[in-house]
Every structure is written in structure tokens, then in C-alpha cells.
Amino acid sequence: MSELLVRAARGERTERPPVWLMRQAGRHLPEYRELREEYDFLEAVTTPEIAAEITLQPWDRYRPDGVVMFSDILTILEPLGFDYHIESGTGPVVESPIADPGDVPQAYAPIQESLDYVGELLDRLDTQVGEETGIIGFAGGPFTLASYAVAGRPTRNHYPLRQFKARHPEAFADLLSIVADAVREFLSYQVDHGADVVQLFDTYAGVLPPEDYRAFIQPLHREILTDIDAPTILFVRNMGGRLDQLAATGADVVSLDWTVEMDMAREQLGDRPVQGNLDPSVLFAGPETVRERTREVIEAAGDQGHILNLGHGVHQDTPIESVEAFVETAKSIEW
Amino acid sequence: MSELLVRAARGERTERPPVWLMRQAGRHLPEYRELREEYDFLEAVTTPEIAAEITLQPWDRYRPDGVVMFSDILTILEPLGFDYHIESGTGPVVESPIADPGDVPQAYAPIQESLDYVGELLDRLDTQVGEETGIIGFAGGPFTLASYAVAGRPTRNHYPLRQFKARHPEAFADLLSIVADAVREFLSYQVDHGADVVQLFDTYAGVLPPEDYRAFIQPLHREILTDIDAPTILFVRNMGGRLDQLAATGADVVSLDWTVEMDMAREQLGDRPVQGNLDPSVLFAGPETVRERTREVIEAAGDQGHILNLGHGVHQDTPIESVEAFVETAKSIEW
């Protein structure tokens, strides 16, 4: 249990902001790239010993206040009946994506069997990090997962799923609903295995018009998030003018992308805890600029209910010294 | 001169909203696909006779209130010294993108020579459409063009340019500045050749944090737009919570993407004219839904200063009958 991370997620005043980085375990670390020479991505994800080692690499290096389990937002697709693999230069590719309403799954395989490697990973982490470090679990959100299930691969503007929605609104709703059920169970399973905080990454749901987000996605986000026995964080990009829609899901923490101004977010969200939101490209500007811009984010957020993070995942070419400067800036604060 | 289009762009009350569609001349039309079997994309763009024929294809079919010249937002890269071609499956590819600050161009070739085919196209259109139809010119905006000049191709989240900005802020500003100069001259050249309205597509500038948009882009948008002797439209995606930043450029019309709610936009923008903003994926839902959702947009916008459009370009698989329903709905309104 991370005192600092969990307390900030609950909206408490903290002596300094807790800090972690989305995608902190990954390609920007030379020790990760070295390990990945031996194991491919999905092999690393599904082997608890390796996944634990990767999860702890940034902890060994930076000592952030949270370790985010090394995994993939798409793992939950497998119990839903979609096999996928990673294609170099493309990203995830689903073997048999949904073409017709008849392809929408009606059920999913038991999470504790199909995703047992996630439980084992969390069990391992629980024994390896101290009380003061939070273990962060996560899952993809229903829109984001459905986009891969329908398009079969990364797409610009998620057109295949949006077309599917326009042509087959009922099947679209059914698909989101079964995915949401699986995600809810998966996040609870993670908490049972020691996740102190969980983050729902429905990164792409902001591609929907506001009325569609409210009609189709928000009720599912609410269903998922209110069922979890741990603090929850919700990340959806491109929601700048409509952060209140995210708060209305009941998420304990609203994770802000880098295109939102922190003081505007505070205005829109009142005392709802927030996470974020330094532009990850600032990490290419050198440690001095990183420190300056990070302090600006921390000061705009204030001393209550703020988890310092980037507004998006760490880019793979990010210099180590910039990440160090980012974490150290949070740790140097004394409110 | 389009009475209706220009009047709405100037904020006047109109008896019905004028209507056109971004990318209305393009792949969704069978007559376009047929013509493109004979001419490749850049050949069609640079041959005024063919470009005029393509421009008028949607006018022949739908009779929208505006015809948007068939061209490419990247044409202006050539006088700036960047050759490019279109690669199937990738999109535009710039031959020698900017790698170092030293590669930033210091000048550009005369527009009226290097882009003479655009002037010739507009001259032709001027003789071919009647007084009641507006001729719409356009150019890419400085951030969007700079992204291609630096990345050399379409990228996720425009990371190469954002990295370049972080590493070389002065060269970044210099690049945007010279691009903006060329764009300003290009749009004026279009107005000289008969464009009744011009649209600046800085589609991707919303990927910048608000403070960076204000510092780097907004002054350039203002410089470009205030210099044009015709009504101007500004399109930047993902600006939902910060439409006031677009209005502050002095654009006559703020073009809304499909993730903005029209009544929220009206609240944020007061009586500034707006364009948009039906979700283009709605065009896959069948004519009845198209009519219903289009009427909702029109009613939310009201009878003053609204140009009906999509919130993004027409998708290439869009059914003809949906575009017909969209245009007819605008034409059926009687305020």
C-alpha cells in the first residue's frame, strides 16, 4: 500500500505529489531493450518472472511512488475470443476481427484462468516492493478494446469501429457491454492480487462526439469503476472541454492528457483528484526545462489530490536524465 | 460570390445554412475514382483542367453552396524547398525532411510561379460556377506543414515535430514563421484568383498544449488570417475546451471538429460564425439518421453565422445517398 499514491488518489492533501509515469517500464530503458532481445513482447507479458523484472526496472532506477505492472491493454481480448499478435511496424494485429454483428462475443473465458499470469505477476510484485510503493494495475477500456476487435489493428480516428456503430448500433452496444463486463472482472481480479490502484485506459473514447460518449461509454465506465474495491484512475484523451463527463463516471482520479491546462482542469473538476499531465515531448528539452515545466504543473495542481504523471506514455527515445529530473522534481516539493 | 456562404461567414442571418463538405471532391465519388485511374493524385492536382473537373464533380451531383478547389494541403511545401510524393498505404512522403536546425528554409520560391496551377484552377472555376456558389480556397497551416517537413510522413501524435520543438525551440519558431509567410501569401494569391472564402487547415495544431498553441501558433494564425481580403475559416482539431483560442486569431469562422457539441461551441464563441460539425461516421447510418442528426446540428447552431459541414473530411467509403441527405437537409430549412 502506497501511503502517498493512495492518499492522493483519495483526494487528500499530501506533503508532496506522488509520481509515476505511464509506460515507465519500457523501451526508453536500456535494461528493458536488453531483456527484450531474449523475449518477444507477448512472451515477456505472459511470463510473470520476466514481467516482474521489467516492472521493477524503472523502480530500481527512479524510485517512483508507483510501479505499474508490465502488461498490455489488449490481454483481455484473449478471453473474449480474439487472438492477437504484435507486428513490427504496425502494432497489435487481431487474427479474426469482428466483421458482422454475428461475430460479437456472447461470453468470455474465466479471467482467473486465461489471465492467470497477471495475478501471478501482481503476487510477485506484492512481495518485492515495500509498503510505501503503490502497485498499479490497469486494463484497456471498452471503446479502445472494441476498436481493436473490429478494426483488427491500429487505425486513424478509429473509423472501422465508428462505421460499425453507425451501421449496427445494437451490436456496437452489445460488444461494448460484454467487453466492459470482462474488464470489470479483470480489474477486480487485479485488486484481489494486490493492485493498490487501478487505471482504466479508454484512451481513444474521446474520438466519439460528446452525446455518444454519454450514451454509450459513460454508463459502462461507471459500471466498471464503481465496482472496484481500490482507488480508480480514468484516462481518456481529447476530453479537454468535457472533463466533467469523466468525473461523472465516478472515477476517483481523472487522468489528464497533455493538451489540458491544469488550472482549467481544476476549475472544471473542483476537488476531484487529477493525474498528469506534463507533455511527454518536454522530456526532450533537457533537465532544466523539465524541472521548470514540471514545477509549473505541480504548482497549478496544488497540494491536494494530485498524482504527478505525464499526459501520455513515455516516448521510447526519452533521455534517462529527463525522467530522473521529472521524478526528482516531485520528490523535492515540500508543501 | 456566394451570397449565402459569404453572408454566413460574415455572421449574418441566412434563410437557411449554406452547406459544403470537407473533401467533397474525392474518393467517395465513383466519377472521381474513374478519373483517377488515368491520373495519379499529384498529376490531377497540378493539371488545372483535371483539377477543375474533379472540383466540379460534387457540384454537379449535390449542388452544395461552395466548391472547394481540388488540391492538397502540402502543395506549399514545394516552394519552401521540400519535394514530396504520395506513397500508397502511407500517404505523403517528403524526400529530404528537416533533420537539423540548419535545414530550416530561409526563403521560398515565388508563389505565383511555383503554384501557378492553383491560380489557373481558380480562374477556371470562376468562369464555371454561378454567382450563387462560393469558391473555397485553402492551405495547410504552419504546424501541420512543419510536421510533414520534419517527420517526412504522417506520424502518430506528431512526435518528430514536438521533439524538434523541445530540442530546438528557436529553429522550430523560425520554421513555423517562414511557413506562415508562404501560407499567407498563398492564400492572398488564391483570393486574387477568385476564391470567395479561404480555409486554413492547421488540423494538427491541437496536439500542442494550450500554452504552446498560444505562444507559437496563435500569433501566426493571426498574422495569416488578418491579411486576407476575404472571409477566413480556421480548422484545428481537438480544441474542444479552448475554442476561444481559435477565435482570438481573428478567423471569421471557427470550424468545429465532430467532438465539439454545437451548443457548447456557441456558448464559448458568442456570435463568432461557426462551421460544422456532423460526425462523418454518421453518414454510414443511413439517410434517415443522417437527416435527423443533421437537423440537430442546424438547430443547435441557429439561424445566424453557421456554415453546415462535417466535423472532418468525407470518408472514402461514404454512401452517395447519405451525402445527398446531408445537403438536402440544409436546403430544406426555412428559418
Q: What is the pLDDT of residue B111?
A: 97
Mean pLDDT of A25-48: 97
CB count in 10 Å sphere of residue A92 = 18
Contact B266, B274 (CB under 8 A): yes
Q: What is the pLDDT of residue B3?
A: 87
Q: What is the pLDDT of residues A300-319, one digit of tens each?
A: 999 999 999 999 999 999 99
Task: Determine, for residues A212 and B162 on separate chains, whether the beta-carbon distance falls below 8 Å.
Answer: no
User: Is A300 exposed, middle or buried (CB count within 10 Å of its CB: 0-12, 13-18, 19+)?
Assistant: middle
Of A10, A27, A63, A293, catalytic: A27
Contact B15, B335 (CB under 8 A): yes
Q: What is the pLDDT of residue B130?
A: 86
Q: Kindly identify which residue of chain B lies nearest to residue A242, measuring between CA atoms.
A: B241
Mean pLDDT, chain B, rounded, equals 97
Tell me the shortest Cα–Cα distance from B279 to chain A, in angstroms.
7
Per-residue b or e along B272-291, where b marks 16 or more CB atoms closer than 10 Å to that residue's CB: bbbbbbbbbbbbbbebebbb
User: Which secondary structure element, helix H or strand E, spans residue B149, and what is its range?
Assistant: helix B142-151
Crossing angle of the two packed helices B142-151 and B169-192, in degrees rounded to 10: 120
The residues that bridge with B92 in the sheet, in sequence order, are: B86
Per-residue b or e along B55-77, where b marks 16 or more CB atoms closer than 10 Å to that residue's CB: bbbbbebbebbbbbbbbbbbbbb
Contact B126, B193 (CB under 8 A): yes
pLDDT at A2 > cutoff 70:
no
Mean pLDDT of A187-204: 98
Contact A209, A21 (CB under 8 A): no
Active site residue B156: no
Contact A69, A55 (CB under 8 A): yes
How do the domains of chain A map onto residue ranges? 4-332
pLDDT at A184 > cutoff 80:
yes
User: Is B146 exposed, middle or buried (CB count within 10 Å of its CB: 0-12, 13-18, 19+)?
Assistant: buried
Chain position carrying cell 476537488: A271
- For chain A, the first-to-last Cα distance in angstroms comes to 22
Of B167, B240, B281, the CB nearest to A162: B281
Of A62, A148, A189, A204, catalytic: A148
Tell me the shortest Cα–Cα distance from A26 to chain B, in angstroms.
17
Q: B135 in the Ramachandran plot: left (φ > 0), alpha (ψ -120 to 50) or beta?
A: beta
Mean pLDDT of A64-88: 97
**CATH dotted code for A4-332:** 3.20.20.210
Which three three-digit cell numbers place residue A217? 461509454
Among B238, B282, B310, most A C-beta atoms within 10 A, so best to mutate, is B238
Residues of chain B with pLDDT under 50: 1
3-class DSSP state for residue A212? helix
Alpha-carbon Rg for chain B, nearest whole angstrom, is: 19
pLDDT at A1 > cutoff 60:
no
Q: What is the pLDDT of residue A136?
A: 98
CB neighbour list of residue A34: distance below 8 Å, 6 or more residues apart: none
